[in-house]
A and B are shown apart, each in its own frame.
Chain A
Amino acid sequence: MGLNPIGYKPWDGKRTEHGRRFLVVAESILRHKLKTKWFLALLIIGTFLVHVMPLFIYSMMPHRELEAEVMRDYLGNGMYFIFEVILVALVCSDLISEDMRSNSFILYVSRAMGVKGYLLGKWTGAMVTIGLFTLLPPLAVAVAVTATQSGSDYLGSLKVIGQTLIAGVWSAAMLVPVGLAVSSLTAKKTYASVGTFMFFFGLMLVSGIFSGLSPDWNMISPPEVLYQSHTVLYGLELSDDVNRFLLGAMAFLLTVPPMALVYYRIMRKEAGK
């Protein structure tokens, strides 16, 4: 009498499914990056230099409809690629390396989020963040050009807008895995960001040196892979000197093996041994 029995009361609220919890990680990355001054500064400068000019030029120039070639060339701009690489290098630099440094994988894996969920969350967070540069502004350009077109083929323009959406997602998807992979190789985010930038720069350099021997060497240059893959995504014809097999192989090599490497590194480092 007078004493309250001790009663453990389990959480009886609703829980989201395990499979959707990666979104919490992704949202946290986006929130964190949007609070970071350098990221916002870079995003604003990059958007102004890369996207604002085309927005005005393409909208104000007389045009009948939104053309795939115009959008492909706009996304094949060297500045677009450089800013994207810098953003990927900086955004991805701390995503895995910080967890490596502080052993905070346990924060995720001890809370019903496996390594795959963790990786999916990190990848999605990086994709959404990079998408603020590679996807949203190109879509805005495409919509503005469509809105100011003089012709009546809105369906055709809508198709190009859809292709732009895919191209914008692909632009991020092609570079983010390397950024994550380099981040998983070190516990220092500075090394990770420099490493990611140097990886892409190194490939461009090697491609530039050897492309005189054979045009196939062009295909190891990431901006060239991005440009040619955009050509495919916009449904345009690849020129004859583009080796289709090498293009496919490079697209694969830049995306799948880096993610496999991150998975392997995390499994080795923390979980599932």
Chain B
Amino acid sequence: MSNVVEARFLSKWYGEVIGLNNFSIDVPKGITGIVGPNGAGKSTFFKLLTGNIKTNVGHLRVLGEEPWRNPGLLAKIGFCPDYDFLPPDLKGREYLRFVAGLHGMDANRTATRVDEVLGIVSMVKDADRSMGGYSKGMRQRIKIAGALLHEPQLLLLDEPLTGTDPLIRKEIIDLVKDLNKVHGHDVIVSSHVLHEIERMTHQVALIYKGRSVASGDISEIRQLMSDHPHNIVLEGRGLVPLAQLLLSKPYTSSIELRPDRLGMFVRVDRPEEFFNYLPDLVAEAGCELERVESLDDDLESVFRYLVG
């Protein structure tokens, strides 16, 4: 089995709302990032993978099995949802024991395994505190601990970095990488921020409005971001000569100067070239720039570009 997940033409709708639309993807072993803006269908995809909901149309195999009405498969999957569901009055260790019970793990082995998992997520010190007093990072860690407690082959981490500060984000990113490199779990991790996923894996799939718009190596996605037309706003003084120079360049599609001549919108076909040559052009035009900002240097723009 080379792919941990194979989805073909999946569609899932809730009444008149479409969760996934003709969605196809192959997820290989290792870490795979599912990237898409909020509401793109990432959580719906995870719910389908865990068999919590049924597809309306299409074919889905997870670790070679059909997930719907297949509780046995859940022994091989660990799911960490994006929202906070931890009972505040339980201690971390108690929560993990409870989760172990839900997985039917025998009591003798559970205590050892709980200690192991607490070690993996670096929560040994805080395991005997009530979870109500945990920081966001601790809560994410204990959620991940709950997901990997039963030694699943496949870990599904839905937006594990949401709401965390940069330090905790780095710790969780390192943890996710370790879960694959050191512990051998296959991981599917979702996020709406591309660069966060980029720090965990190079294998990504882009999902937008319920459809899989691209998948593959992240460098190819980066190239797409560089290649698609960008709208760039420039603000400063003496912009007219700069506009004239830019119009002579092949990568410039159009320029719109603001009436006050203190700002302009430039549409460029090859943003990388534009940014490379901009300092020279500014020097040549003798203008002073106060602001340069690409309005399309984000994932949402790439999605819009990819789906036309």
Interchain CB contact (< 8 A) of A16 among B85, B106, B109: B106
Whether A272 sits at the interface, judged by CB under 8 Å, is: yes
Whether A37 sits at the interface, judged by CB under 8 Å, is: no
Contact B185 A8 (CB under 8 A): yes
Contact A15 B104 (CB under 8 A): yes
Contact A106 B79 (CB under 8 A): yes
Q: Which residues of B contact A272 (CB under 8 A)?
A: 52-54
Contact A107 B52 (CB under 8 A): no
Cα–Cα, bound, A270→B35 (Å): 23
Contact B85 A102 (CB under 8 A): yes
Whether A45 sits at the interface, judged by CB under 8 Å, is: no
Q: How many A-B residue pairs have CB under 8 A?
A: 104
Whether A109 sits at the interface, judged by CB under 8 Å, is: yes
Contact A103 B81 (CB under 8 A): yes
Whether B153 sits at the interface, judged by CB under 8 Å, is: yes
Q: Which residues of A contact B71 (CB under 8 A)?
A: 18, 112-114
A 1-52 contacts with B by CB, 8 A: 6-11, 13-18, 20-21, 24-25, 27-28, 32
Whether A108 sits at the interface, judged by CB under 8 Å, is: yes
Q: Which residues of A contact B87 (CB under 8 A)?
A: 98, 102, 104
Q: Which residues of A contact B53 (CB under 8 A)?
A: 271-273
Distance to closest chain A CB from B27 (angstroms):
16
Whether B129 sits at the interface, judged by CB under 8 Å, is: no
- With both beta carbons as reference points, the residue of chain B lying nearest to A121 in the complex is identified as B102
Assess A11 versus B150: contact at CB under 8 Å? Given A24-B98, A112-B71. Answer: yes
- With both beta carbons as reference points, the residue of chain B lying nearest to A32 in the complex is identified as B89
Q: Which residues of A contact B52 (CB under 8 A)?
A: 106, 109-110, 270-272
Cα–Cα, bound, A41→B150 (Å): 38
Cα–Cα, bound, A141→B150 (Å): 45
Contact A108 B102 (CB under 8 A): yes
Interchain CB contact (< 8 A) of B75 among A15, A28, A98: A15
Whether B101 sits at the interface, judged by CB under 8 Å, is: yes
Cα–Cα, bound, A16→B98 (Å): 14
- With both beta carbons as reference points, the residue of chain A lying nearest to B89 in the complex is identified as A32
Cα–Cα, bound, A103→B98 (Å): 17
Interchain CB contact (< 8 A) of B99 among A7, A20, A27, A107: A107
Contact A104 B104 (CB under 8 A): no
Cα–Cα, bound, A10→B50 (Å): 18
* A interface: dominant SS: loop
Cα–Cα, bound, A14→B89 (Å): 29
Cα–Cα, bound, A200→B104 (Å): 38
Whether B255 sits at the interface, judged by CB under 8 Å, is: no
- With both beta carbons as reference points, the residue of chain A lying nearest to B49 in the complex is identified as A110
- With both beta carbons as reference points, the residue of chain B lying nearest to A25 in the complex is identified as B102
Distance to closest chain B CB from A5 (angstroms):
9
Q: Which residues of B contact A21 (CB under 8 A)?
A: 101-104
Contact A273 B14 (CB under 8 A): yes
Distance to closest chain A CB from B293 (angstroms):
37
Cα–Cα, bound, A28→B52 (Å): 23
Contact A103 B99 (CB under 8 A): no
Distance to closest chain A CB from B50 (angstroms):
5
Contacting chain A: which of B119-127, B176-184, B209-217, B222-230?
A: B176-184
Cα–Cα, bound, A79→B237 (Å): 85
Interchain CB contact (< 8 A) of B83 among A16, A103, A113: A103
Contact B99 A111 (CB under 8 A): yes
Assess A14 versus B106: contact at CB under 8 Å? Given A106-B81, A271-B52. Answer: yes
B 38-91 contacts with A by CB, 8 A: 50, 52-54, 71-72, 74-77, 79, 81, 83-87, 89
Assess A111 versus B74: contact at CB under 8 Å? Given A8-B185, A9-B184, A18-B104. Answer: yes
Distance to closest chain A CB from B284 (angstroms):
55
Q: Which residues of B contact A7 (CB under 8 A)?
A: 184
Q: Which residues of B contact A111 (CB under 8 A)?
A: 74, 99, 102-103
| Interchain residue pairs A-B with the least CB separation, the first 5 | A24-B101, A8-B184, A104-B85, A15-B104, A16-B104
Additional pairs, 14, CB under 8 Å, beyond known A106-B81, A113-B102: A6-B183, A8-B183, A13-B106, A14-B109, A15-B104, A16-B104, A18-B71, A18-B104, A25-B102, A104-B85, A107-B99, A109-B52, A111-B102, A271-B52
Residues of chain B touching chain A, judged by Cβ–Cβ distance below 8 Å, are 14, 50, 52-54, 71-72, 74-77, 79, 81, 83-87, 89, 98-99, 101-106, 108-109, 113, 146, 150-151, 153, 181-186
Instruction: Give me 19 A-to-B residue pairs in the complex whose CB atoms sit less than 8 angstroms apart, sorted by A's number.
Output: A8-B153, A9-B151, A9-B184, A10-B151, A14-B106, A18-B104, A28-B101, A98-B87, A102-B84, A102-B87, A103-B81, A103-B85, A107-B85, A109-B52, A110-B79, A112-B71, A271-B53, A272-B53, A273-B54
